[in-house]
Copies of this chain bind each other. A is one copy, B any other.
Amino acid sequence: MSDIEVLAHHACFDGSLRFVRHNSQALGVPATFGVFLPKEALSGQKVPVIHLLAGLTATQETFLIKANAIRFAAEHGIALVAPDTSPRHTGIKGEDDSYDLGSGAGFYIDATSEPWSHHYRMETYVGEELPSLTERLYPLDGSRRGIMGHSMGGMGALLQALKYPDRWKTVSAFAPICHPSTVPWGQKAFDAYFGGDPMKWQRCDPTLLLRSKHTHPSTILVDQGLMDQYLADLCPDALEAAAKEGGQSLELRRHAAYDHSYWFIQSFIADHLTHHAKGLSA
A225 at the interface (CB under 8 A from B): yes
A185 at the interface (CB under 8 A from B): no
23 contacts between A and B (CB under 8 A): A10-B258, A10-B261, A10-B263, A11-B227, A11-B255, A11-B257, A11-B258, A11-B259, A11-B263, A11-B264, A12-B263, A12-B264, A13-B266, A13-B267, A14-B267, A17-B263, A65-B65, A68-B68, A68-B71, A68-B266, A70-B263, A70-B266, A71-B266
Q: Which of chain B's residues have a CB closer than 8 A to the CB of A12? A: 263-264, 266-267
CB interface residues, A 233-282, toward B, < 8 Å = 255, 257-259, 261-264, 266-267
Q: Which of chain B's residues have a CB closer than 8 A to the CB of A71? A: 68, 266
A89 at the interface (CB under 8 A from B): no
A66 at the interface (CB under 8 A from B): yes
Interface size class of A (residues with CB under 8 A): 20 to 34
Q: Select from chain B the residue with minimum beta-carbon distance to A66.
A: B65
Q: Which of chain B's residues have a CB closer than 8 A to the CB of A11? A: 225, 227, 255, 257-259, 263-264, 267
Copies per assembly: 2
Interface residues of A (CB under 8 A from B): 10-14, 17, 65-66, 68, 70-71, 225, 227, 255, 257-259, 261-264, 266-267
Q: Which of chain B's residues have a CB closer than 8 A to the CB of A264? A: 10-12
Given contacts A13-B267, A65-B66, A65-B262, could you give 7 more A-B pairs where the C-beta distance is less than 8 Å? A10-B264, A11-B227, A11-B259, A12-B263, A13-B266, A14-B267, A68-B266
In Å, the complex CA distance between A98 and B264 comes to: 35
In Å, the complex CA distance between A259 and B13 comes to: 12
Q: Which of chain B's residues have a CB closer than 8 A to the CB of A258? A: 10-11
Check A10 against B259 for contact (C-beta < 8 Å): yes
In Å, the complex CA distance between A87 and B71 comes to: 34
Q: Which of chain B's residues have a CB closer than 8 A to the CB of A266? A: 12-13, 68, 70-71
In Å, the complex CA distance between A164 and B127 comes to: 56
In Å, the complex CA distance between A12 and B265 comes to: 9
Q: Select from chain B the residue with minimum beta-carbon distance to A10.
A: B263
Q: Which of chain B's residues have a CB closer than 8 A to the CB of A10? A: 258-259, 261, 263-264
Nearest-neighbour CB distance to chain B for A225, whole angstroms, equals 7
In Å, the complex CA distance between A265 and B255 comes to: 29
Q: Select from chain B the residue with minimum beta-carbon distance to A65.
A: B66
Q: Select from chain B the residue with minimum beta-carbon distance to A67.
A: B68
In Å, the complex CA distance between A258 and B11 comes to: 5
